Amino acid sequence: MAVAATLLCALLATPETFAQTQRDRAFTDPAIPVVVGAYTKLTAHPGVFTTRGELEDLAKRINISGSYSAMRFNKLAAQVGRDLSGQKEWGVAYSGCNSDVYNYGFSYEFQTTHGVDHATQIRTILGLKPDSMPPTGAAVVASRLALYAALVKAGAVAPAGAPSPNQAAAIAKQILITWSTRGFQDGHGHFLSTPSQFCDENGKTNDAVMTGVGLLVGRGIVYSVHTQDLLMFLGALNASEVQQANAFHSAMFELIRAALNYNFSEHHAWACDHYSNHAANQLAGLLALAHILDSQKRFEAVLYGRDPSIPVTLPWVGFFQRAIYGVADTPNACYANTGPAGNASKPFFETATVAPGEIDDRYRNADPSQGIGYPMFTLERLFDAAEILRNAGYDPYGYRGTHRQSIEMATAYYACYARSAGFYKTVTKDNSSSCPDAAQYYGKVVNGVDRFLTIGALRFPHNRAITSLAAEAKAASSSGPFSLDAILFGKWRD
């Protein structure tokens, strides 16, 4: 298997040619199916990831004593209480080139990763007092606060002692407007527009920084869009503030588009490594931005890549064909195995074959959390994009790619490991050999699958491979670091 994978790597080691071929296919190949539907204007808020009707339905379920939704809402309210009592410096935003500050100050909530205390780093760079609490994951927190306030407005009865929805909305608004007016700028008051304007902790710009820009901005901007959408539903933004948020989000659209195009058509990397969570985050971000701005032209450019006035070298439908493997498919192999099996091949490992439903990010093998955890990050953004498309008038859940692949197929594939090994358990030959291509995942933890079986049971109610695990998935997904994700909150069956 390792020899076959190595030979395949050699065949694919011409990134420019491969990228050009895939780019041309995305623009011109009639074999790539379109997504059924047509763009629907955004006439009411919220309308990007969720709708007013969905909020009101969720509020009714929350108000049923003892319901699953009531339990989850109580946890949301408790977290919002902690958010509001933490006295963080939400009125501060960063402008400059340091990628880490954007990633951990705006886009990603957790303060310590890989042993690095990012809160201290952000405090120092922003010049805050030593005893202050710097903003971390500001966009993520803002969307959570806005969701809480929006659910109360939609009719959800807050538990006794719950935080004020008005205060939650006010802090969410403060975060959005602060970053819209003072964040992501160069030294001349202009929004950053290219990957080359970012740098590492030493002030240096390099390939690693530039290829990571789309991910670090995209993973946060979906929450910023969600915040604006919910605040507009709440009537919390005046016309001037909407204009400021729109200007910021329009600039972020161009920045992410430039980053996506750089990664796909300019950067001399392995051409087969274009279909990971990086592109999934960028494309979900671009679709969200286009819809909050109610720009059909931009939305369709991201979806299909056919508008020469808004070049998108890897549109969503092009990405979809290789992000999820389908029937009789071949892997995007490019990182050579260093051993015959996953336990002897670090940091990458791939079997020479793929099963329908596997996700491209499967090759990551530095530690047991990655082999399934990274595919789930891609699947999360595929679900996020699907919710955007669904609300914009399309049928993403019925979409089938050139190899009959679908979001449903991917969800059902990883359900096999949840059923066989168990949520957050380790995959072994003894417990999971019946799953197709199980050798790819031996030694990996079934990490994050619960969240997507929970929404999968809602969106694919006739698929027993998914719905039969719904109760266990709901229980598992009700706790943990991503259980209060605002975008998919409430996307479950009670």
Residue 117, pLDDT score:
78
Residue 111, pLDDT score:
66
Residue 8, pLDDT score:
34
Tokens 């010049």 — which residue?
127
Residue 99 has φ and ψ, to the nearest 5°, of -60, -40
Residue 18, pLDDT score:
40
Residue 24, pLDDT score:
42
381 CB contacts (<8 Å, ≥6 apart)?
A: 222, 277, 280, 281, 283, 284
Alpha-carbon dihedral 37, 43, 46, 50, rounded to 10 degrees: -10
Under 8 Å between Cβ of 224 and 235: no
All structural domains of the chain with their residue ranges: 2-477
Residue 26, pLDDT score:
46
C-alpha–C-alpha distance, residues 435 and 419, integer Å:
10
- Give Cα 314 distance to the centre of its chain: 17
Residue 16, pLDDT score:
39
C-alpha Rg value of the chain to the nearest Å: 22
From first to last of its 494 residues, what are the pLDDT tens digits of the chain? 333 333 333 333 333 344 444 444 444 466 899 999 999 999 999 999 999 999 999 999 999 999 999 999 999 999 999 999 988 899 999 999 999 999 999 999 876 666 777 888 889 899 899 888 998 999 999 999 999 999 999 999 999 999 999 999 999 999 999 999 999 999 899 999 999 999 999 999 999 999 999 999 999 999 999 999 999 999 999 999 999 999 999 999 999 999 999 998 887 656 678 899 999 999 999 999 999 999 999 999 999 999 999 999 999 999 999 999 999 999 988 889 999 999 999 999 999 999 999 999 999 999 999 999 999 999 999 999 999 999 999 999 999 999 999 999 999 999 999 999 999 999 999 999 999 999 999 999 999 999 999 999 999 999 999 999 999 999 999 999 899 999 999 999 99
For the domain made up of 2-477, give the CATH fold.
Glycosyltransferase (1.50.10)
Residue 109, pLDDT score:
87
Pick the closest to residue 227 from 177, 188, 190 (CA basis). Answer: 177
Residue 10, pLDDT score:
34
C-alpha–C-alpha distance, residues 253 and 260, integer Å:
11
CB-based burial label for 401 (10 Å; 0-12, 13-18, 19+): buried
Kindly give the pairing relationship between strand 112-113 and strand 116-117: antiparallel
